[in-house]
């Protein structure tokens, strides 16, 4: 089994290609360089276009995070992970709240693939604050819930978690530095928070020890998305 880790990308930024049509996503990708960012394909684009959207991105040399957040019974999630691995993506994810057996089934399914993607588990969506969590039955504050789910994911042998930038230190403390954190909810100073609740700037998230920054609208909705990425990388000391 070979892990997809021979990366040529020098930036921790993963650009979220959240577009309603493949044309817009591919047009943006054409202006970006695989050495300066990775790409994330999520539910909107994948539901619209299917696996066909991945091929031109992978062909151009991008490492692609397929963000479909699988959450189902273990057998179904294992099958979905196997299918995702066959698409040549760099990272796939599941919901940690799917439980230990589901996480282990995902890990075991991917372990058998020839070129295995990284497996991350979503802890608590970055759009949820304490009140929203309480409404769906989680009494613990977001940080405590994230820690609990990160420990579960770590014990199940997953590579890392998706969490908010505000929980990076908690996760690293609980599970060790090598356990990956992938953090959405990134907002450069002066940009809109949109629907995200638990946010931080790119520099603050990197200083807190995160491994990957997922950034969507601050890049995709910028007047010049490629320039927005260059500025974010420059702010992290990456000349691209």
Q: How far is the CB of 97 from ligand C5P (least distance, A)?
A: 12
DSSP 94: E
Question: Which CB sits closer to ligand C5P, 156 or 163?
Answer: 163
Question: Which CB sits closer to ligand C5P, 40 or 116?
Answer: 40
Is 2 catalytic? The answer is no
Residue nearest to ligand C5P (CB): 216
Q: Which residue has the tokens 């230190």?
A: 169
* Contact predicate 71/95, CB 8 Å: yes
Give the number of C-alpha atoms closer than 13 A to the C-alpha of residue 148, restricted to the C-beta side.
11
Catalytic residue among 40, 69, 112, 148: 69
Element (H, E) at 25: helix 22-30
Q: How far is the CB of 163 from ligand C5P (least distance, A)?
A: 7
Residues 26 and 19: their CA atoms lie apart, in Å, by 10
Question: Which CB sits closer to ligand C5P, 122 or 171?
Answer: 122
Question: Which CB sits closer to ligand C5P, 8 or 135?
Answer: 135
* Contact predicate 183/212, CB 8 Å: yes
Q: How far is the CB of 173 from ligand C5P (least distance, A)?
A: 20
Question: Which CB sits closer to ligand C5P, 196 or 233?
Answer: 196
Chain contacts with ligand C5P (rule: CB under 6 A): 16, 18, 42, 67, 122, 125-126, 162, 184, 194, 196, 214-217
Sequence-distant (6+) residues with CB within 8 A of 71 are: 77, 94, 95, 97, 98, 102
Q: Single out the residue of 2, 11, 35 nearest to residue 115, CA to CA.
A: 2
List Cα–Cα distances, 182 to 41, 52, 65, 159, in angstroms. 15, 25, 11, 11
User: Percentage helix, strand, coil, to 5, in the chain?
Assistant: 45, 20, 40
Q: How far is the CB of 114 from ligand C5P (least distance, A)?
A: 27
Q: How far is the CB of 20 from ligand C5P (least distance, A)?
A: 13
Q: Which residues are catalytic?
A: 69
């Amino acid at each position: 089994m070979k892990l997809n880790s021979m990366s040529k990308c020098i930036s921790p930024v993963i650009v979220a290609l959240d577009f309603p049509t493949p044309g817009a996503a591919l047009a943006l990708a054409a202006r970006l360089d695989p050495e300066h960012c990775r790409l994330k394909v999520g539910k909107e684009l994948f539901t619209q276009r299917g696996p066909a959207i991945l091929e031109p991105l992978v062909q151009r040399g991008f490492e692609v995070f397929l963000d479909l957040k699988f959450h189902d019974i273990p057998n179904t999630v294992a099958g979905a992970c196997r299918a995702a691995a066959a698409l040549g993506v760099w990272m796939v994810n599941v919901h940690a709240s799917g439980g230990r057996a589901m996480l282990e089934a995902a890990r075991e399914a991917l372990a058998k693939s020839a070129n295995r993607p990284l497996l991350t588990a979503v802890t608590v969506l970055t759009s949820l604050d304490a009140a929203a969590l309480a409404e769906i039955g989680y009494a613990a504050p977001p940080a405590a819930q994230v820690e609990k789910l990160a420990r579960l994911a770590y014990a199940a042998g997953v590579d890392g978690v998706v969490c908010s930038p505000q929980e990076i230190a908690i996760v690293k403390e609980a599970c060790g530095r090598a356990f990956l954190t992938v953090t959405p909810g990134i907002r450069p100073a002066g940009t809109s928070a949109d629907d995200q609740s638990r946010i931080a700037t790119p520099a603050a998230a990197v200083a807190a020890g995160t491994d990957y920054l997922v950034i969507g609208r601050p890049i995709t909705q910028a007047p010049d998305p490629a320039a927005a990425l260059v500025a974010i990388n420059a702010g992290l000391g990456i000349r691209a």
